[in-house]
Amino acid sequence: MRKKLLRVLLPGLIVAAAVALAACGGSSDSTSSSGDANSQFAAVTEPPSDAQQGGDLTVIAASDVDYIDPGAAYYQFTFMVTSATQSSLTAYAPGDIEKASPLLATGEPEVSDDGKTITYTLRDDVKFSPPVNRVATAADVKYAIERSLLPGVPNGFVQTYLSGVQGIDKAIKEAQDNPTGGAPDISGITAPDDTTLEIKLDNTTSIGVIGALSLPVSAPVPEEYAEKYDAENPSTYGEHQVATGPYMIENDSSGNLTGYTPNKEIHLVRNPNWKASDGDFRPAYLDDITIQEGFADTVSAAKKVLTGNGLVNGDFTTPPAAIKQAAQEGEEGQLSLTPSGGNRYVALNTQMAPFDDINVRKAVIANSNRVDLRNTRGGELTGPVATHYLPPDFPGFEEGGGLEGPDLDFIANPEGDPDLAAEYMKKAGYSSGKCEGDCKIVMVGDDSPPGSDTAEVVKSQLEQLGFDVDLQKVTHDIMYTKFCSTPSNAPQVCPNVGWLKDFNDGQSMLDPTFNGENVVPENNSNWPQLNVPEVNKAINDATLIDDQGERNQAWGDVDTMIGEQAPAIPYIWDDQANIQSADVAGVINKANANWDLAFTSLKP
Amino acid sequence: MARFIVRRLIASIFLLIVVSAVVFLLFYVFPSADPAQLRAGRQANADQIQAIRESLGLDKSVIAQFWIYIKGVFTPLDLPGTDSHGPLYFGHSYQSNADVKDVIFSDLPATVMLVVGAVIVWMGVAIPTGIISAVRRRSFLDRATMITTLIFISAPVFWLGLVFLYLFADDVGLIPIFPGIGSYGAADTFAGKVGAMILPWLVLGLATAAIYARYLRSQMLDVMEEDYIRTAYAKGLPDKRVIMKHTLRSAITPIVTLLGLDVAVLLAGNAILTETVFNIPGVGAETFNAIKRSDLPMIQGITLFGAFFIVTLNLVVDIAYAYLDPRVRYD
Amino acid sequence: MSDSAHSAETLLSVEDLKVHFETDEGIVKAVDGVSFEVKRGEMLGIVGESGSGKSVANLTILGLTRASNATISGRIMFEGRDLTELGGEELQRIRGNEIAMIFQDPLSSLHPFFKVGDQLIEAIQVHRDVSKEEARKHATDLLGLVGIPDAKRRIGEYPHEFSGGMRQRVMIAMALANDPKLLIADEPTTALDVTTQAQILRLIERLREELGMAMIIVTHDLGVVAEVSDRVMVMYAGEAVESGTLDQIFYDPQHPYAWGLLGSLTRIDRPRTARLAQIAGQPPSLIRPPKGCHFRDRCPHAFEKCTEHPDLEARGGEAGHTDRCWIDPERKRELRVVSTGEIGLEAPEEVTS
């Protein structure tokens, strides 16, 4: 999802947009680190009371979904589609922050007293779209989860979050040994009847499992229809999928998607088998939704949305120039700023000199002017300056210190504190307060703005401390896959990393990124390679807490513990800037930080 | 001539193999992102990545991968019981899993439409402009034209595209008269698609017309110095006939070569900037996506297709040359 | 030489023709006050080095001096009309029709992309309202007339399929297409080998006799003139420096420049000597030619008087024999003999073998 993060937040590469970003970043003199300044653009999470039924909407997008297959979908923009076409067990309604609401399930999942069994009760009135046309059952959900273990359905998160489900290891092995042999059976997931789904766990990891099952992987898939597609590697079910939500991707009578052309268009029409019901919180006002892709220049795409009719932005965040225009000239409600649930930081490699010394790391953070770093991404309107890792509007955010941040001197001043930095350098043994002797540092950053701008600012900040920085610039993908995510080849500093939540739980934010046990030889996401036993333990313990309040506190504490280790310079919690045409009554799904198509309508 | 064509076709196949090899090598020699990791997603574990690597064939040696690829492209038949896929099998996209050939074929109509229209615009503008400038050499008209063309040549197409959009597009333009960005994809009818192409045609057409006009002008001026043009005047032919028949006929011949190559290169995805600015779902936009996503089969497929266009149109140009210039003979 | 008495009527009369080109370096006086006449059926030879203005003068007659920086003055009277005053269309009617021209380099003077037949047909049809078929027949006849064998087939071939001499025959055929009254041949044989030269000259001579047209032959080679001309004009640095009948020029040349030209002539009736005379020095600048006699700098016999510009006038020779040299005619007779029987400028000392 890093790559997807890139696509959500950095559809860069485009000179015009980049210039606009750089120019805007440079001109912003605001030093505010608060998100309050943007409250006038707060997201609307409820449709108007007189919302109009019908109408066509066009979503303007730069790129395509990651996988059209809901079983593999793992990207904000894809979730925008699946939230309209699928019915997962639970799902985040527009205003949901802490946890998801029941959708295919009739109510909250029940967790047994020992915390090791989760039981969902399913609605009996949800039908698959044509050509399947039958009622979806618990067995279809079991199949959906099982098929996501197939190598041909490259799901990026199930194996992580469902690792505590009984029998999953055996199922994973089975699928890998025989990729075209059909979905493997997970013994811990059973469907005793059509409306009951039971999940047995080895451990009390129910919150993580329930969280993961709020994602479209839990949307039912009819086995008798899908198995022939799943017998291929890669599976082609995505191109033949059926829907359980109010909308479906247009298809022909045999189920072939006619409404999807990769990189070009996704056309959603109403699902004739879907009916409004008490069990489904989605009003589904619109008749027809076209997602038009390929708008590489986000500046002109944003302008088109702002001046046009019936348009909203899709996968791209509005570039700063267009945000400014929308803020100043647009009609009320055309711009909305929503915390994206993501952070960005400069990772310091804790396993390599000189950053294996915590005092050097603290000095670097203390010295850093994080407002300058944020300005490289467009300044105040793009989000508050980060002080820790859990983002605003996220469970554990307040417990982790809120906007002010934890009580740590080296992170206290967003504009940096050179004197304090010098002190920490002295503690690290550099008597002059600056690095002396062999001060060579390798840094691998993006080769295109805004990432490359951030990298340059980081470089100059490190040079202030006497470091001799060798900045290598490569594409964003190469930066990750060849350098920062491959520990054996990782540089001392990775200035362009960041993380976007999977679902609203601290585990999805902090476990992959700071748990030392999760450092792997490739595709590593713990970029600072932080490996502190107390932190690891605190993270592992927190994943097992199944009381929401306690859990939030625990993740907040973990967040602070990580901050104390000074593994990185957190510098922004991105706000997602979403825009709509003046005639659209858009509703933002806060958890997805994007338009909720099933709630959006056209103004009467 | 027939022997010449056959020889050239055989050479072309070897050339295409070499091009494939070069692209393959470039992809492996120069740093590029790991497609398996990109496809696997951020939470994928080592086994999952390995599984994807195997399914993409990336676990095999470069030579083996290359051999499989070459076999796929050049095996002419879909032989039952073998792993052949019929002719021109370029593999599947790492990212969208679509058959590369199908994707390219689906991209071609938009690109062909863009290029054909642009060629009409640029030849339609360049030929009269080049002729008038040459005939009225050093006049005010000539100087004004040459300065204008210089501006169009210097301006990046991307920038020019944005300027035209902000001036004339019906969504973001000051004078909203022509369909704007993304209108090609949004159009359902052929007429709608033609409308959507007006601005791209103008931008690509005028940018290229500038080059052609200058080239034609200098060709015309050269030819006008030729003895046989003096002969034509001495015969008592009217000026118009000397210019439009005798001079233009010679001056336009090298333009044909240029045109053939330009069309080939544009079909090969070189309309990338125009297609990107206007969001035209063509080969160029596909190239942009493929490069952005380290999608080797897609890049490879587009490159080979491009090489094919270039080789083919080169051949067409050479054959056309033999008809245009009777002194040229191939045997 | 043919009898010019059958018609003494003047066909072309060039009077004080000046062709000046404005350049960044100054005004190039390519032709600076040249006058001559051509009578019906007469053959005039114009002789001079390259850059002497002979070609420019003749191109100007046809209105082919097209450079925008050219200024033309004087009169070119052709059958009572002043060609310098005519508009483009009127000139077009004369070109290739009443006055035709053939050029130096037959290799580059035909359009390489068109069949010779089509180029001939075009030349016919532009002046005559005939069908393509008639024009084609006429074109075939013309090719036969100029001695191209198998004309019917060759009419469909391209210029590059013809040899140099054959191409010049095509050029001649094209020039004759509309029975011109005046044919201007600009160095018609220079680009050809010696054998072909002779053939082409014989052809020209034969055709002129058959068709009775007047002709101007422009050349740097007095030998060419010797074979075909009635009268000769010698040009130097934009001016005529001597003018007279062929015999006058050959047997009693008045201007030292003409001596030089005669001396450099290879004559098959004389033994070749190592001392093949050449004219030393370079042709003068046409922007700032030497004051007085333009040839003064290269003339071994120059004296004080030569700083005055001599007019073109009869200076003691026969009537109609004019020149621009101040040297006393008697003295000239002594000076011009290099060795017994040879006429020419004294060869420079450093002559190479």
Answer whether residue C330 is part of any domain.
yes
Predicted local confidence at residue A379, as pLDDT: 85
Where are the domains positioned within chain A?
Answer: 11-49+267-340+576-602, 83-261, 343-573
Q: Answer yes or no: is pLDDT of C351 > 60.
A: no
Instruction: Compare A28 and A492 and report the one with higher pLDDT.
Output: A492
Could you tell me which residues are beta bridge partners of residue A348?
A: A493
Contact criterion met (CB < 8 Å) for C110 and B231: yes
Query: Looking at beta carbons, which residues of chain B come within 8 Å of A179?
Result: 51, 55
Q: Which amino acid, one-letter code, is at A498?
A: G
Cβ within 8 Å, pair B235-C64 = no
Print burial letters for C321-337: b (CB count within 10 Å at least 16), e (below 16).
bbbbbbbeeeebeebbe
| Confidence class for position A128, pLDDT limits 50, 70, 90 | very high
ipTM of the complex model: 0.85
| pLDDT at residue C172 tops 50 | yes
Percent of chain C with pLDDT over 70: 89
Nearest to B163 by CA among A448, A61, A16: A16
pTM score above 0.90: no
User: Do the two chains B and C touch, given a threshold of 8 Å on CB pairs and at least 3 pairs?
Assistant: yes
Q: Tell me if residue A399 falls in helix, strand or coil.
A: coil
Distance from the Cα of B277 to chain A's closest Cα (Å) equals 6
- DSSP label of C55: H
With an 8 Å Cβ cutoff, is C190 touching chain B?
A: no
CB of A71 within 8 A of CB of A140? no
pLDDT at A19: 33
Contacts of A520 in chain B (CB under 8 A): 45-46
Kindly report the number of other CB atoms within 10 A of residue C84's CB atom. Answer: 17
Please tell me which of the candidates B227, B236, B237 has its beta carbon nearest to residue C108: B227
What distance in Å separates residue C262's CA from the closest CA in chain B?
A: 30
Residues of B in contact with C160 (CB under 8 A): 326-327
Instruction: pLDDT band for C214, please (50, 70, 90 cuts).
Output: very high
Q: Are A143 and A226 in contact (CB under 8 A)?
A: yes
Cβ <8 Å between C126 and B324:
no
A1/B292 touch (CB, cutoff 8 Å), yes or no: no
Give me the residue label for tokens 């690290």: A428
pLDDT at residue B246 in the model: 94
Any CB–CB contact under 8 A between C182 and chain B?
no
* Chains contacting chain C through 3 or more C-beta pairs under 8 A: B
Selecting from B228, B235, B253 the residue whose C-beta is nearest the C-beta of C95 gives B235
C–A contact (≥3 CB pairs within 8 Å)? no
Nearest chain B Cα distance for residue C268, angstroms: 33
| Secondary structure E strands in C7-134 | 10-22, 27-39, 43-47, 70-78, 81-82, 99-102
Name every chain A residue with its beta carbon within 8 A of the beta carbon of B171: 303-304, 307-308
Query: What are the backbone dihedrals phi and psi of residue A81, each rounded to the nearest 5 degrees, phi first?
Result: -75, -50
CB contact under 8 A, C126 and B237: yes
Q: Coil, strand or helix: which one is C182?
A: strand
Residue C313 domain flag: yes
Contact C101 B239 (CB under 8 A): no
pLDDT at A8 over 90: no
A121-134: average pLDDT: 96
Q: How many CB atoms lie within 10 A of CB C42?
A: 24
Which segments in chain B show pLDDT lower than 50?
none
Choose from A510, A522, A525, A527 for mutation: most chain B CBs within 10 A.
A522
In the block, tokens 């605003």 appear at: A392
CB-closest option in B52, B166, B281 to A154: B52
Q: What is the pLDDT of residue B64?
A: 86
Secondary structure class of A587 (helix, strand, coil): coil
Asked if the C-beta of C105 comes within 8 angstroms of chain B's C-beta atoms, the answer is yes
CA distance C242 to C324: 6
A-B interface (Cβ pairs under 8 Å ≥ 3):
yes
| CB-based burial, A144-172: b 16+ in 10 Å, e otherwise | bbbbbbbbbbbbbbbbbbbbbbbbbeebb
Is residue A257 over pLDDT 60?
yes
CB contact under 8 A, C110 and B230: no
Contacting B residues, span 159-188, partner chain C, CB-CB under 8 Å:
none
Confidence grade of residue C222 (pLDDT, cut at 50, 70, 90): confident
pLDDT at A29: 37
* Token duo for residue A298: 């986000």
- Burial (CB count within 10 angstroms: exposed 0-12, middle 13-18, buried 19+), residue A223: middle
pLDDT of res. C292:
86
B235–C122 C-beta distance less than 8 A: yes
Which chain B residue's Cα is nearest to A173? Answer: B47
List, as one string, the DSSP characters of A372-390.
Answer: HHHHTTTSGGG-PPPSSSS
Could you tell me the CA-to-CA distances from A460 to A348, A353, A464, A542, A601 in Å, in that order? 15, 19, 6, 38, 48
Q: Report whether pLDDT(A113) > 80.
A: yes
A/B interface, count of CB pairs below 8 Å? 159
Lowest mean pLDDT among A400-404, A549-553, C300-304: C300-304
| DSSP H helices in A200-356 | 206-212, 223-230, 298-307, 320-329
CA distance A264 to C76: 74
* Contacting subunits of B (3+ beta carbon pairs below 8 A): A, C
- CB-based contact B230 C103, cutoff 8 Å: yes
The nearest alpha carbon in chain B to C62 belongs to B234
Give the residue on B whose Cα is nearest the Cα of A265.
B185
Q: Which residues of A touch B172 (CB under 8 A)?
A: 300, 303-304, 307
What DSSP element (H or E) covers A288?
Answer: strand A288-292
The Cα A491–Cα A471 span in angstroms is 10
What is the sign, positive or negative, of the torsion defined by CA atoms of C315, C317, C321, C324? negative
CB within 8 Å: B235 and C89 = no
What pLDDT, on a 0 to 100 scale, did the predictor assign at position C8? 66
State whether residue C122 sits within 8 Å of chain B by CB.
yes
- The verdict on C69 touching B (C-beta cutoff 8 Å) is no
Strand pairing report for C70-78 and C81-82 = antiparallel
Domain covering B100-324 in this structure, CATH number:
1.10.3720.10
Distance of alpha carbon A440 from alpha carbon A448, whole angstroms: 24
In a domain, C93, yes or no: no
Which region among A13-22, A316-325, A342-351, A489-498 has the lowest average model confidence (pLDDT)? A13-22
pLDDT at B55: 77
| Interchain CB distance below 8 Å, C92 and B236 | yes
Mutate to test the interface with B, among C109, C167, C172 (most CBs of B within 10 A): C109
Preferred mutation among B235, B249, B328 to probe C, highest tally of C CBs within 10 A: B235
Q: Is the CB of C160 inside 8 Å of chain B's CB atoms? A: yes
What percent of chain A is predicted at pLDDT more than 90? 70
Contacts of A171 (CB under 8 A, 6+ apart): A146, A149, A184, A185, A186, A187
Q: Which of C110, C115, C126 sits opposite B236 (nearest CB)?
A: C126
Q: Which residues of B touch A157 (CB under 8 A)?
A: 41, 43
| Listed range (A93-97, A600-604, B146-150, B327-331) with the worst mean pLDDT | B327-331
Pick the more confident residue, A21 or A225.
Answer: A225
* B323 touches C: beta carbon within 8 Å: no
Domain count, chain C: 1
Residue of C68, C95, C113 with shortest CB distance to B250: C113
Contact B228 C112 (CB under 8 A): yes
Determine the CATH number of domain A343-573. 3.10.105.10
Nearest CA distance, A203 vs chain B (angstrom): 21
Verify whether the Cβ–Cβ distance B171 to A478 is below 8 Å.
no
| Among candidate residues A79, A197, A182, A188, the one with its CA nearest the CA of residue A137 | A197
Provide the H-helix boundaries in chain C. Answer: 54-61, 88-94, 106-109, 116-125, 132-145, 151-154, 164-176, 194-211, 222-228, 246-251, 256-263, 329-335
Kindly report the nearest CA distance between residue A321 and chain B, in angstroms. Answer: 15
Is residue C4 assigned to a domain?
A: no
Q: Sort residue B179 into left (φ over 0), alpha (ψ -120 to 50) or beta.
A: beta
Look at residues A69, A48, A122 and name the one whose alpha carbon lies nearest to residue A603: A48
| Predicted local confidence at residue A22, as pLDDT | 34
Render A85-102 in DSSP notation, one character per residue: H---SEE--TT--SSPEE
Q: Does C127 touch chain B (CB under 8 A)?
A: yes
The pLDDT assigned to B309 comes to: 86
Buried b (16+ CB within 10 A) or exposed e, A393-402: bbbbbebbbe
Nearest to B49 among A16, A477, A523 (CB): A523
Query: What CATH number does domain A83-261 carry, 3.40.50.300, 3.90.1310.10, 3.40.50.2000, 3.40.190.10?
Result: 3.40.190.10
Average pLDDT, chain C: 84
What's the CA gap between A214 and A502, in Å, rounded? Answer: 10
| Average pLDDT value for residue range C276-280 | 60
Asked if the model's pLDDT at residue A343 lies above 90, the reply is yes
The top-scoring range by mean pLDDT among A223-227, A304-308, A500-504 is A223-227
Give how far C291 is from chain B: nearest CA, Å: 33
Residue C346: give the domain boundaries.
Answer: 246-352
Sheet strands side by side (includes A196-200): A110-111, A117-121, A196-200, A189-193
Burial grade of A244 (CB within 10 A; 0-12, 13-18, 19 or more): buried
Q: Which residue has the higher pLDDT, B35 or C346?
A: B35
Helices (H), A135-214: 138-147, 158-161, 168-177, 206-212
Residue in chain B closest to C173 (alpha carbons) equals B235
Q: Which residue has the higher pLDDT, B295 or A186?
A: A186
Among candidates C183, C234, C224, C175, which has minimal Cα distance to C38?
C183
